[in-house]
């Protein structure tokens, strides 16, 4: 993809992926779901998860799986509020970008 993906958009995408799993989801699965739509590396996504943890948008819990620990992430109430803002902002932003790319102008 030729378009750069900024930190806010990555945060929004990761929050959306995590929010879709009520019981939480683990890092590798998050990475796979994001990589299905964006060209990003694991090394890009783990700092996003750490930032969202630091900002209290996610919680983390280690669970045993197949004799190993797997780190599960869950969205917090604060994370849901942040995601809601991202979704509203994305709707407005994407409508404007679509208008300018398809029509060559936006309505003012």
Which positions ≥6 away from 52 have C-beta within 8 Å?
A: 11, 14, 15, 58, 73, 79
The model's pTM is 0.88
Is a pLDDT exceeding 70 seen at residue 46? yes
Domain ranges of the chain: 7-103
pLDDT digit string, tens, across residues 59-88: 999 988 888 999 999 999 999 999 999 999
Which CATH number is associated with domain 7-103?
Answer: 1.10.10.10
> Residue 106 — pLDDT band, cuts 50, 70, 90?
low
């Amino acid at each position: 993809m030729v378009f750069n993906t900024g930190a806010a958009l990555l945060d929004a995408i990761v929050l959306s992926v995590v929010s879709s799993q009520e019981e939480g989801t683990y890092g590798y699965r998050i990475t796979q779901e994001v990589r299905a739509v964006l060209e990003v590396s694991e090394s890009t996504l783990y700092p996003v998860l750490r930032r969202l943890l630091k900002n209290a948008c996610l919680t983390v819990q280690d669970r045993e799986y197949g004799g190993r620990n797997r780190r599960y992430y869950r969205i917090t109430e604060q994370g849901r509020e942040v995601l809601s803002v991202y979704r509203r902002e994305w709707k407005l932003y994407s409508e404007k970008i679509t208008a300018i790319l398809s029509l060559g102008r936006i309505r003012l």
